[in-house]
Amino acid sequence: MATVRVHSSSRQQAKWEKVINGLRLDGVKIYNQPQDADVSIVLSGKHENPAMLKGRKVLAFDAGEWIKFMNPPNGWIAYAIVLEEYYDDFINLSGMTDSDKIKTVKEMIGKYESD
């Protein structure tokens, strides 16, 4: 069973507050500092340095956050090319409600734990 840790920058937490609180209520610990892990899931990633994270790196993102001032899909594509160098996998949460984001992240935690 793999060790999975969920990360969120303290600078990012206001925008992700409902998701973070929902995950915490469901027993998921959210880390602000790199932890030993087989898999590191990063919420948003906008203020993270993924090079400091341990294990397989997974970005759970909302594309609208990354492309605020750029037209989709070109804005996300510009970031994605760079992010693919740092992350092994991506969880696209774009357009989801906070409840759906919580559910999807929990499902991915379960998936990675069983891999």
State the DSSP string of 16-76.
Answer: THHHHHHHHHTT--EESS----SEEEEES-TT--GGGS-SEEEEEE-HHHH-TTS-TTHHH
In this predicted model, which residue has the larger pLDDT, 39 or 45?
39
* pLDDT of res. 12: 64
- What structural domains does the chain harbor? 4-114 (3.40.50)
* pLDDT of res. 73: 57
pTM: 0.88
Task: Express each pLDDT in 48-68 by its tens digit.
Answer: 888 899 899 999 998 877 766
